[in-house]
């Protein structure tokens, strides 16, 4: 077995595959060299890129080997599925990942076969997955659009919560959630991470034109700009007698209690704030050292709610808690 990609999804796949035999890893960016061989089952768990060039590059190399079988766990778009179906003729199984951050484990996964003339090929390749999940076989298009819908649904949930909060006040979300049948997501500083934003883009591309969802998607993308504006406004209101020059910003990760910065909206907000202030940016889960002068700036702005963030806030006289998208002085 060969696992291509050793990131978040790849590491979860490896924990399953290693129980079924030796697993070779291909991920040059992480120090695992390329080693494509004949008569091999390849499990692909890479970030394919927005244009899927990374995935096509891997498939092109596999195409040169004899008798390959490929299991794709990376999320596809409908256009990528079309390309794969006509360009590559070797057996493939699409099993979109359902890895959940925070330790939750999905119990059900979908799978679809492409060019699998011999059912035994698919059975052998997906046995490690079948042994660990309840599998539902569907058509390739269903597998793709289901995965995209899952992530688009979550994106729109977060964007909607931020829209309500920004339009009517942050307390409205909490009040709505007192209803026994309603559970809005908590608003935040933006919709970061590897999957939600890009997969929602792919979902809208596959969907017949829907202006309402397109506008909500655009609103979700501009949340960091709104948050940066809220922070600047709060600092301005609280400092009418002098100009603030330096601020400290806490948190770089895309979500609390992780060191992953992929598509981090905290980084995006910090860059926007740099157009007005000198920004000393620090994340205890990412940075080895605290920036010089971090504890002596005019303000601390908290963007990511890592555990113990309050301990850092106690070291400052002026603190803005922006975790909910609002800029509240605490």
- Assess contact for 263 and 254: CB atoms under 8 A: yes
Strand-strand pairing, 41-44 and 24-26: unpaired
Q: What percent of the chain lies above the pLDDT cut of 70? A: 98
- Which pLDDT value is given to residue 244? 85
Q: How far apart are CA 257 and CA 101, in angstroms?
A: 11
For residues 177 and 167, what is the distance between their CA atoms, to the nearest angstrom?
A: 17
* Domain spans of the chain, in order of start: 2-137, 145-178+191-218, 222-329
In this predicted structure, the answer to whether residue 42 has a pLDDT above a threshold of 60 is yes
CATH number of 222-329: 3.40.50.720
Contact 152, 177 (CB under 8 A): no
Mean of per-residue pLDDT scores for the chain: 93
pLDDT, tens only, 224-258: 999 999 999 999 888 756 788 899 999 999 999 99
CA distance 16 to 14: 5
CA distance 101 to 217: 23
E strand intervals along the chain: 2-4, 24-26, 41-44, 69-72, 92-94, 108-114, 134-137, 246-250, 278-282, 299-302, 319-321, 328-329
pLDDT tens, residue by residue, 266-316: 999 999 999 999 999 999 999 999 999 999 998 999 999 999 999 999 999
pTM higher than 0.85 for the full model? yes
Residue 120, pLDDT above cutoff 70? yes
Task: Check residue 261 and give its pLDDT.
Answer: 94
pLDDT at residue 322 in the model? 96
42-46, 80-84, 141-145, 240-244: which range is least confident on average? 240-244
| Average pLDDT, integer, range 177-187 | 92
Task: Count, in order, helices (H) and strands (E) of the chain.
Answer: 10, 12
Q: In what order do the strands lie in the sheet with 299-302?
A: 278-282, 246-250, 299-302, 319-321, 328-329
3-class state of residue 258 by DSSP: coil
Could you tell me if 97 and 9 are in contact, meaning their C-beta atoms sit under 8 angstroms apart?
yes
Do domains 2-137 and 222-329 share one topology? The answer is: yes
Q: Which of 18, 62, 58, 54 is nearest to 37 (CA)?
A: 62
Look at residue 101 in the predicted model and tell me its pLDDT: 57
301 — phi, psi (to 5°)?
-110, 120
pLDDT at 237: 87
- Residue 6 in this model has a pLDDT that exceeds 90: yes
- Distance CA(200)–CA(214), nearest Å, equals 10
Which pLDDT band holds residue 38 (cuts at 50, 70, 90)?
Answer: very high
Output the six-digit token pair for 117: 């003339």
Instruction: Identify whether the C-beta of residue 304 lies closer than 8 Å to the C-beta of residue 266.
Output: yes
CATH hierarchy code of domain 2-137: 3.40.50.720
Summarize the confidence of residues 204-221 as an average pLDDT.
96
8 Å CB contact between 40 and 91: no
State the pLDDT at residue 268: 97
Instruction: Give the dihedral sign, CA 89/125/75/8.
Output: negative
pLDDT of 5 higher than 90: yes
The label of the residue with tokens 């099993």 reads: 95
Is the model's pLDDT at 169 over the cut of 60? yes
CA dihedral (178, 184, 188, 193) positive or negative: positive
Contact call for residues 185 and 255 (beta carbons, < 8 A): no
**Residue 120 in 3-state DSSP?**
helix
What percent of the chain has a predicted confidence (pLDDT) above 90? 83
What pLDDT does residue 65 have? Answer: 94
pLDDT in tens, 91-105: 999 999 987 655 566
- Beta-strand relationship, 92-94 and 108-114: antiparallel
């Amino acid at each position: 077995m060969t696992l291509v990609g050793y990131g978040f999804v790849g590491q979860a796949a490896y924990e399953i595959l290693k129980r079924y035999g030796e697993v070779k890893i291909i991920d040059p960016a992480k120090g695992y060299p390329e080693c494509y061989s004949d008569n091999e089952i390849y499990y692909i768990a890479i970030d394919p890129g927005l244009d899927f060039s990374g995935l096509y590059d891997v498939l092109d190399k596999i195409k040169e080997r004899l008798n390959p079988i490929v299991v794709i766990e990376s999320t596809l778009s409908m256009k990528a599925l079309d390309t794969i179906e006509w360009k590559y003729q070797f057996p493939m199984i699409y099993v979109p990942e359902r890895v959940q951050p925070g330790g939750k484990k999905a119990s059900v996964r979908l799978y679809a076969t492409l060019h699998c003339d011999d059912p035994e090929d698919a059975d052998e390749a997906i046995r490690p997955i079948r042994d660990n999940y309840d599998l539902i076989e569907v058509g390739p298009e269903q597998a793709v659009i289901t995965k995209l819908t899952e992530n688009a649904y979550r994106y729109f949930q977060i964007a909607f919560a931020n829209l309500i909060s920004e339009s009517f006040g942050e307390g409205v979300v909490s009040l709505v959630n007192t209803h026994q049948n309603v559970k809005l997501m908590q608003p935040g500083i933006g919709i970061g991470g590897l999957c939600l934003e890009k997969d929602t883009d792919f979902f809208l591309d596959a969907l017949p034109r829907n202006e309402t969802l397109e506008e909500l998607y655009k609103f979700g993308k501009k949340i960091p700009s709104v948050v940066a504006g809220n922070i600047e406004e709060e600092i301005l209101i609280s400092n009418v007698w002098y100009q603030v020059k330096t601020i400290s910003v806490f948190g770089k990760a895309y979500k609390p209690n992780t060191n992953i910065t992929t598509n981090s909206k905290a980084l995006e907000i910090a860059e926007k704030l740099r157009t007005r202030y000198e920004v000393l940016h620090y994340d205890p889960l990412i940075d080895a050292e605290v920036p010089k002068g971090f504890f002596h700036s005019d303000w601390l702005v908290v963007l990511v709610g890592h555990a113990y963030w309050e301990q850092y806030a106690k070291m400052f006289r002026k603190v803005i808690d922006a975790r909910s998208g609002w800029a509240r002085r605490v």
